[in-house]
Amino acid sequence: MTTFLYTHPACLEHDPGRHHPESPARLRAVLEALDDPEFARLERCEAPQAAREDLSRVHPRRHVESILCAVPKTGHVGIDADTVLSPASGEAALRAAGAVVAAVDAVVAKDADNAFCAVRPPGHHAEPQRAMGFCLFNNAAIGAMRAREVHGLSRVAVVDFDVHHGNGTQAAFEADGSLFYASTHQYPLYPGTGAASETGVGNIVNVPLRPMAGSSQFRLGMTQRILPALDAFRPELVIVSAGFAAHRSDPLAQLMLEEADYTWVTERLLEIAYRHSAGRLVATLEGGYDLSALVASAAAHVRVLMSA
C-alpha cells in the first residue's frame, strides 16, 4: 500500500501566539514522530498552495480575500478571541487546504491508496463565510468539493472524530445530499453545535457524547449510527477530519479515548472505503493539544493507513 504524507514548512510558521494551544509545536511533534524508521515507507509530498478556485467552492471569493488581506506584516491580528493571524498565516492556510486538494487528486488518480495531511491551521470550524475556532479555511470541505467538481465523484463523505463539532463542514454540506458529514464530539462544548437533531437533508449524522464518555460510548455511536449511515451512503471518497483532542489526556475537553480507539475507527473507515471507493481515503489533521497524546494517536492512525 502507498500512503502519501503531505505537509509544508510554512505550516510550522503560522504563529497564533506564545500561549495559544494551537501552536507550531503540535505539528512539529507529529512530524518528528513520523520521521521514525517505522514510517519510512510514507511517500512524503510538499503541499502546494490551494488555488483561489478551489477555496471558492466552499468560501465566497470576497471572504477568501478578506482573510488573506487581514494577514499582518508584523505582529498578530485576531479575527476573534481564538483565531489569530501572524505574518505566515496566509501561506500556511493556503498550504493546509492545498495539501488536501493534492491528496484528493492523488488518491483519485490511484497514485496513492490513501493520504495523511499533516498541516495546520486546522479547518473544520471554518464556515463558508466565517473563520473561527483556530480555523481559517475548511480544508476537508475544500477537498470534498474538489473531488466532486473536478473529478466528478457523486458521493463524498467527511467523517470527523475530533472532540469539537465541525460546525463549518456541517454548514458547507447540510443542504447538499451528494455530500455526507458525520461527527462524534463532546456535547455541550465549543462551538455549541452538533445536536443529534441536526440532520441536514438526511446527510448529517451527529453523535454527541457526554463529558467523561470513553471508548464504549464512542465505539457504540460509531457502530450503531455513523458507520451504517456511511455504508448506506456508499461514498466514492472518504475524507477524515482527524482530530485527536478526544484523547483522555487532552486539556481542552473531557472525553476519555485512547490510542486504541483511533486505531479501531481508522480500520472501520478503511473497511467502508474499500467496500465503496477502492480504498480511497484522505485524512487531514484537526485538533489535539496534549503533545504526547497527539503524537501517539496520530501515529496509530497513520500506522493503520500504511497497513491497509
Which residues participate in catalysis according to the annotation? 125
Measuring CA to CA, how many Å separate 20 from each of 17, 25, 76, 117? 5, 11, 12, 22
CA distances 163 to 124, 205, 212, 223, Å, are 11, 15, 12, 18
Calculate the alpha carbon distances from 109 to 105, 133, 148, 269, 280 in Å: 6, 33, 14, 20, 10
> Within 10 A of 95 (CB to CB), how many other CB atoms are there?
29
Vertex 167: Cα angle to 187 and 158 (nearest 5): 100
Q: What distance in Å separates the CA atoms of residue 61 and residue 244, rounded to the nearest whole number?
A: 31
Q: Report DSSP state, residue 215.
A: H
Q: With contact defined as beta carbons under 8 Å apart, do 166 and 134 qualify?
A: no
What does each C-alpha distance from 65 to 47, 68, 146, 217, 304 come to in angstroms? 21, 5, 19, 42, 38
Place of cell 521514525: 36
Residue 301: CA count within 13 A, CB half-sphere = 31
For the four alpha carbons of 245, 251, 256 and 258, in that order, the dihedral sign comes to: positive
User: Among residues 142, 158, 117, which one has the least CA distance to residue 50?
Assistant: 142
